[in-house]
Each structure stands twice: as C-alpha cells, then as structure tokens.
Amino acid sequence: MIRLQSYLAGRWQDGAGSGAQLKDPVSGEVLATASGDGLDIAEALAFARDRGGPALRALSFAGRAGLINALAGVLAENRERYNTVALANSGNTAVDAGLDVDGGIGTLKYYASIGRKLGEARLLAEATDDQLTKDEAFRGRHIWTSNRGVAVHINAFNFPSWGLWEKAAVSLLAGVPFLAKPATATSWLAYEMVKDVVAAGVLPEGAMSLLCGGGRDLMDHLKPGDVVAFTGSAETAAQLRSNPNVIAANVRFAVEADSLNLCALGPDAAPDAPEFAAFIKEVSREMTVKAGQKCTAIRRVLVPRSRVDDVVAALKPALAKALMGDPRTEGVRMGPLVSRAQTVAAWAGLEALKAETQVVAGGGNDDGGCFVPATLLLCNDPLAARAVHEIEVFGPVATLMPYDSVEQAVDLAHKGGGSLAASVFSGDAAFLAGFVPAIATSHGRVLVVDSSVAASHSGHGVVMPHCIHGGPGRAGGGEELGGLRGLRFYMQRSAIQGSRSMLDAMTQGAAVVAL
C-alpha cells in the first residue's frame, strides 16, 4: 500500500490524518491512501500565480508547445505502467485503460501541434476589425491575452488520465499554470503521471500542481483572474460555484456534468441497412466500454416503434458478447464499476427506472460487489415517462424509447434537459437536415453516421480535441477543447480601439485567429 502525496508550491507534501482509501474494485484490497487535509492551499495557488504564470507567459506559443510535447513524451514512455495502475484502481480492461491513458497523451500532442502552428507569437489577434465612427481610420480589434491567475482543474473519477491532461494541455498552451484536483477514489494514476513529469523536469516551477485528497477550502482562496474547470456531478458543481468567494471574485467557472446522452435510429434504417448495423455496434459499445462509466455514454436510445423488436433482437447478443468479470482474466471485456459507492448508486437508479420500464436484455441483482451487468430497458410510453429523462445510471444501462413520428423524436430528444453528446444513424439526407438542427440546441455535440462513415467515424462517446466538449442544461453549460476555441476560457478577450496603423503595429507578430 502506498501513500499519495500532493505536489504544491514546488514540493511534494503529505496531508494530515489517515486519509481516504483507494481500493481495487474487484478484490476490495486497499491499494493506497491519500489526504489533502492541513495543506496550505493559499500558498500553493500563490506559488502557481507568482512562479508558474510568469514563466509560461514569457514563452511563445511554440515554446509552450515544446513543453507540452516533452510532457507527452514522458507519459508515453511509461504508458504500460499506467495501464497496470488503471486496471488495479479503476478495474479497467486494456481497452478502457487505453481510452484514458492514450487519450490524455494524444490530446497533449494535438495541442502541441496547435502551438507549433501559432509560432513565436505570445498574443492572439482576431482576423477582422470594425470601423467605429465615420473616420475609417478609427477601428476596433479584439485581442486575446493570457490570464494572470491560476487554473483549478477538478476532475471526475472515471478518467484520471484524460481528464487531467485534456485540461492541462489547453491551460499550458494558453500560458496559464494549473492545479489539478483528481477524484480521490482513482487518483493513483494521476499521482503516478504527475510524479513522472516532475521527476523529468520538463515544466517550469509552478506551472503544474497536484492535490490528492482534501481540497475542502480550495474555492476560498481563488482570486480574480483565476478560473475553474470542473468535471463531475451537477450537485457538486452547484456547491462549488455558489461558494461566496467564487461569486465575489467573479471567478470564471466551466462545468461539464453527467447527462442523459442520446442515440437515435432514423426511420429509414432497416435491419439490413449499414446504418442499422453501425447503430447496434455503437450502442452496445457505449454501454460496455468502461462499464458505461463515461460522461458521454449513451443513456437514451430513440428508435422507430416499428423497429423496436429488431433492435432488441440485435442488441441482446451484442451485449452478451461483452463478458463481465475481472479484467485480469482473458476474454473479459467489461470490468466492474470503480467503487462500491458507485455500484450502490447504480443499482438504486436502475430500480427507479424499472418503475417506468421493463428489462429486455441483461439485468440481475446486486451481489454486494462492484459489478453491474449490461442492462437494456424498454420504455413503451417515453412521452409520459419522467424518470427515464431525469435519472442517469452511471453504469452499463440504457433505455430504449420508441417514437411514432419525427416530431415526437425531437420532443423526446429535448426531454433529457441537455446533454454532452447525441448520435444519429441514418442515410436519409432529408430526415437528417431537419432532425439534427432541431435537436442541436440540447446537445453539445451531434455525431451523424451514414453508410459512408459507418466504418471510420470516431465514435459517439469519444471526445476529439478538435471539437468542443460540453453541453447545455444538465450537462453543465460549459465548453472545453475545440482546438483554438479551448484557449478562450484561459485567455482574456479585450477590444482595443485606435487607429488602424496603431492596431497593426501593436498586433505585429501576433497569431491571427479567425473566430
């Protein structure tokens, strides 16, 4: 058993007390403990602002890209060890661990490539300006500059690697130091990764901080110019965002919360259509990868009422192929939920959904461990139902919802209250042209799959750094990633007014962004 420490104010520190236990979700063995109690958070944030911030802002975008690329290199050298940690602490299969570990490394490399393209600039200038008065020479132009505070990154338990590095990549490229607070239950992986990066010395002092455990007073020490990027439950987000100090300082606060993500089968997709086969593959994959513990996983499945029997008949054997068990066992494709607490919550949510649905595949009973079988539910009257549009089981559970018209499908899509991702499987261009824009206001991202991309698309639940990640309503209302768009959260956009010649001189050497 190991003791996780925090890396704050340029040194490793241990919190007070016995701390929280990190366990193997299969065996229940205690693997590590972590405590952040008694640590000086104010000192840690000040160190990041005073040391990390100036060091990063002194570098060009290309210089910061070099740091990010070097960081990714350190992680890539140790990826097999990280996969072993993910298996032990999160119950990840090899596929699950790869999604987390490789996803983090890949996102770092992507943002390093963006930084190289921005070159030696330290300033971003928007491509167009505006004439403000009758004098054509008097113009307004918008520039982006690095925030002078620190970014606090609060991450969820399900992606201790990707959640850490996808936020860090954007923050570092923007020239803003960060303090990462991983969810304690699975923080061992984040700890090992940060430890390797610190040992390699690839980042300036203060550019990166890590808090393992604790953090109860973290919001109390933020200042104007600091930002918070949060991933986790809506309830926790609301508590943190309503902190009096956060409100008083007007701290920029982005939330990515769990949501009832949607997958829809178009009316044209018959059982022999390539779109139907791709739909079945994607729903079964999204239900079972990481045992359904993804904030983007499919929770609600819309199908034409005439296709319900066909969909059930196809999904049953597909889900049965995902053998559940200890990921160390050959042939196992779906592991446990990460903790007993998460499992208890999943079983309770499943029981609540059963009041409005029937089990058509999978199911079972709580055996006292951390396993939940892949379970497909059917809600025959989804327009009248409530729980299926409000309760998310954060595990391998999804609900089929028949629709009788396109208008009804649109109504059902919006009943989820806003989600991170939706996917639509159809080859009917006319249907897609009406349906996708009609549901887009409730979804941060919409994947459209027809036969031409059925074998090559990135996947419903895979977050690509090129596109924004986030969603409206219950999904939190935030945005992150999205290529250059992600930098906006960590930078201040200011309108500069003056003569055209002055603006040109001032922004000479700036990287131009067409946003």
Q: pTM (2 decimals)?
A: 0.94
Count each helix (H run) and each strand (E run) in the chain, helices first. Answer: 15, 24
Compute φ and ψ for 146, nearest 5 degrees. -65, 135
Position 180 scores a pLDDT of 98
Average pLDDT of the chain to the nearest whole number: 95
Residue 215, pLDDT score: 80
Tens-place pLDDT, residues 30-39 = 999 999 999 9
Structure tokens at 238: 């609301």
- Per residue in 227-262, pLDDT tens? 999 999 888 999 999 999 999 999 999 999 989 999
Architecture of domain 2-258+477-513: 3-Layer(aba) Sandwich (3.40)
Q: What is the DSSP letter of 461?
A: S
* Across 46-68, average pLDDT: 98
pLDDT for position 514? 83
pLDDT at 334 over 90: yes
Question: d(Cα 488, Cα 184) in Å, to the nearest integer?
Answer: 29
Question: How is domain 261-465 classified at the CATH fold level?
Answer: Aldehyde Dehydrogenase; Chain A, domain 2 (3.40.309)
Quick one: pLDDT at residue 515? Answer: 67
pLDDT tens across 167-180, in order?
Answer: 999 999 999 999 99
pLDDT digits (tens, 9 = 90+) for 124-137: 999 999 999 999 99
Which residues on adjacent β-strands are paired with residue 146?
491
Amino acid identity of residue 343, one-letter, is T
pLDDT of residue 175: 98
pLDDT at 68 over 90: yes
Candidates 232, 264, 295; CA nearest to 399 is 264
Same topology, domains 2-258+477-513 and 261-465? Answer is: no
Domain coordinates in residue numbering, the chain: 2-258+477-513, 261-465
Q: How many CA atoms lie within 13 A of 357 on its CB side?
A: 28
pLDDT band at 1 (very low <50, low <70, confident <90, very high): confident
Q: Which residues are catalytic?
A: 256, 295
| Contact criterion met (CB below 8 Å) for 327 and 93 | yes
Q: What is the pLDDT of residues 109-167, one digit of tens each?
A: 999 999 999 999 999 999 999 999 999 999 999 999 999 999 999 999 999 999 999 99
Predicted confidence at residue 214, as pLDDT, reads: 81
